[in-house]
Amino acid sequence: MSCCASRLSLTPEYFSRVAHELEAQQLIAIDRRDIRILDVEKLLGYGAQ
């Protein structure tokens, strides 16, 4: 995930924490180097609260 983090100008640790949080909320699924969006609507609203 460090390649994704650097492309987004984030530390790998922060990117990993956010990715795992999104996965726990079933907004994305992570499979090795693949990240699938499971719920676009909820992901768009993520962090808007």
In tens, the pLDDT along 16-44 reads 999 999 999 999 999 988 999 999 999 99
pLDDT (0 to 100) of residue 13? 92
Write out the two tokens for 41.
Answer: 């609507």
Measured between alpha carbons, how far is 3 from 17 in angstroms, rounded to an integer? Answer: 15
Three-point CA angle 29, 3, 30, nearest 5°: 10
Query: Which DSSP symbol is given to 29?
Result: E
pLDDT (0 to 100) of residue 42? 94
Q: Tell me: pLDDT of 8 over 70.
A: yes
Write out the two tokens for 34.
Answer: 């693949």
Q: How many alpha carbons fall within 13 Å on the CB side of residue 42? A: 9
Regarding predicted confidence, which is higher, 8 or 14?
14
> Global pTM?
0.77
